[in-house]
């Protein structure tokens, strides 16, 4: 599909972006240093567009959430790519306040950003402002939120595959039978897509019984999930697996299992990865045995590249879907992998330089 097309293409496609905010919104700006050298030219036929060469491109990154390993890594990748492309990245976060996210998005449109990236958000709160961006001709990339307009580029991880990979490991380890605790919060597009796979998985595997569902997303998701998981596991002593397809969920589940001393009985199947997650997965007697993931930093880089292409008038999308890989506890331990850099070295498919490649940038 589009991703495959991009892998083979030397030039790329463009999009739009935007998004909304929250309470306590903070705005930070990352500017390319004035001393930065001009971006190297990858192809002699493609020179750096003048506006980029002059450092005059402003991209607004409008986030719903910012706390937690995933969102911190994603931002670090976006900022690094922005600096490499001499883009000024103007970052705001709603920190869970969806009205604030929408307000931030409206402001980015009013302030005539050259492009907008909307990072997560609920459709009903961000789509009206995304429409305004589209009507105003502001290119927009929507990550993990349905933009509701064909003018925007929709960037996602392959969430169905994320769930399939994690559940494949769960099935292999359990034999397809047993009580399972499920961690989920509806409304977040990636979690909703993963939930579609879980729903089908239960139908296809009648020996799997979801005995309880828990979940919360806030600024301390892992500790909140840990409290919920402890109560659910005490009420359901037969649980042998936890499907927790977000790393903050998995970390919380791991805390609960360890505090209850149930590591020999219960295994955790998660999503996402970070250096801290690798530490949790590989510590002695850890119950977190598998995670299906992209490299979050790489996804942040792709969002900025897609926005840059749109600003330059290059075609992108309408959809960019980033494939995940399954990472297991055994693989990490056997490979002596202790951080993200070592993981991406061992699993090179987590790095996708051909997705939204910018033809004037260094290879």
> 29 φ, ψ to 5°?
-125, 130
Counting contacts by CB under 6 A, is residue 246 touching ligand SR1?
yes
Closest distance to ligand SR1 from the beta carbon of 68 (Å)? 8
Distance, in Å, from the CA atom of 144 to the CA atom of 115, rounded to the nearest integer, reads 17
Cβ-contact 121, 66 below 8 angstroms:
no
Of 101-109, 171-179, 186-194, 280-288, the segment contacting ligand SR1 by CB under 6 A is: 186-194
Counting contacts by CB under 6 A, is residue 272 touching ligand SR1?
yes
Please identify which residue in 217, 303, 332, 356 interacts with ligand SR1, judged by CB under 6 A: 217
Counting contacts by CB under 6 A, is residue 184 touching ligand SR1?
no
Counting contacts by CB under 6 A, is residue 288 touching ligand SR1?
no
Q: Is 304 helix (H, G, I), strand (E, B) or coil?
A: helix
Q: From the CB of residue 220, how many other CB atoms can be counted at a distance below 10 Å? A: 13
Counting contacts by CB under 6 A, is residue 269 touching ligand SR1?
no
Half-sphere exposure of 64 (CA within 13 A, CB side): 22
Looking at the Cβ atoms of 198 and 246, the one nearer to ligand SR1 is 246
Burial of 156 (0-12, 13-18, 19+ CB in 10 A): buried
Distance, in Å, from the CA atom of 146 to the CA atom of 143, rounded to the nearest integer, reads 8
- Give how many residues touch ligand SR1 by CB under 6 A: 10
Closest distance to ligand SR1 from the beta carbon of 2 (Å)? 18
Counting contacts by CB under 6 A, is residue 314 touching ligand SR1?
no
C-alpha R_g of the chain: 21
Counting contacts by CB under 6 A, is residue 144 touching ligand SR1?
yes
> 269 φ, ψ to 5°?
-120, 115
Q: From the CB of residue 10, how many other CB atoms can be counted at a distance below 10 Å? A: 11
Counting contacts by CB under 6 A, is residue 138 touching ligand SR1?
no
State CA 147 to chain mean position distance. 16
Counting contacts by CB under 6 A, is residue 157 touching ligand SR1?
yes
Counting contacts by CB under 6 A, is residue 271 touching ligand SR1?
yes
Distance, in Å, from the CA atom of 363 to the CA atom of 356, rounded to the nearest integer, reads 12
Counting contacts by CB under 6 A, is residue 191 touching ligand SR1?
yes
Looking at the Cβ atoms of 356 and 358, the one nearer to ligand SR1 is 356
Counting contacts by CB under 6 A, is residue 25 touching ligand SR1?
no
Of 88-96, 184-192, 275-283, 343-351, the segment contacting ligand SR1 by CB under 6 A is: 184-192
Of 7-15, 134-142, 171-179, 187-195, the segment contacting ligand SR1 by CB under 6 A is: 187-195
Cβ-contact 53, 3 below 8 angstroms:
no
Looking at the Cβ atoms of 117 and 312, the one nearer to ligand SR1 is 117
Of 357, 302, 348, 356, the closest CA to residue 325 belongs to 348
Q: Is 242 helix (H, G, I), strand (E, B) or coil?
A: strand
Looking at the Cβ atoms of 271 and 304, the one nearer to ligand SR1 is 271
Applying CB under 6 A, the residues found at the interface with ligand SR1 are: 70, 144, 157, 188, 190-191, 217, 246, 271-272
């Amino acid at each position: 599909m589009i991703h495959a097309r991009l892998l083979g293409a030397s030039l790329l496609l463009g999009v739009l972006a935007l998004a909304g905010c929250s309470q306590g919104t903070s705005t930070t700006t990352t500017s390319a240093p004035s001393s930065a050298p001009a971006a190297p030219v990858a192809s002699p036929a493609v020179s750096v567009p003048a506006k980029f060469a002059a450092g005059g491109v402003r991209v607004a990154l409008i986030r719903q959430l910012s706390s937690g390993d995933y969102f911190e890594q994603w931002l670090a990748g976006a900022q690094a790519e922005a600096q490499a492309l001499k883009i000024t990245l103007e970052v705001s976060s709603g920190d869970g306040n969806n009205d604030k996210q929408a307000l931030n998005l409206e402001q980015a449109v009013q302030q005539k950003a050259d492009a907008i990236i909307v990072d997560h958000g609920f459709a009903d709160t961000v789509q009206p402002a995304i429409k305004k961006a589209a009507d105003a001709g502001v290119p927009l990339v929507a990550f993990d939120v349905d933009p509701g307009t064909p003018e925007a580029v929709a960037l996602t991880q392959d969430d169905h595959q994320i769930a399939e990979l994690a559940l494949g490991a769960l099935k292999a380890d359990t034999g397809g039978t047993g009580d399972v605790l499920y961690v989920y919060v509806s409304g977040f597009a990636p979690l909703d897509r993963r939930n579609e796979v879980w729903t089908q998985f239960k139908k296809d595997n009648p020996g799997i019984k979801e005995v309880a569902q828990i979940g919360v997303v806030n600024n301390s998701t892992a500790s909140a999930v840990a409290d919920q998981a402890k109560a659910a596991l005490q009420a359901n002593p037969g649980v042998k697996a936890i499907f927790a397809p977000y790393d903050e969920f998995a970390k919380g589940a791991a805390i609960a299992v360890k505090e209850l001393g149930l590591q020999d009985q219960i295994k955790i199947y998660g999503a996402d990865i970070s250096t801290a997650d690798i530490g949790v997965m590989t510590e002695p007697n850890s119950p977190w045995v598998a995670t299906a993931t992209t490299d979050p930093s790489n996804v942040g880089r792709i969002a900025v590249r897609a926005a840059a292409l749109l600003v330059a008038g290059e075609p992108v999308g309408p959809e960019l879907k980033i494939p995940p890989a399954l990472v297991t506890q055994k693989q990490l331990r056997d490979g002596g992998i202790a951080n993200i850099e070592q993981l991406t070295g061992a699993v090179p498919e987590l790095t996708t330089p051909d997705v939204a490649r910018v033809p004037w940038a260094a290879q």
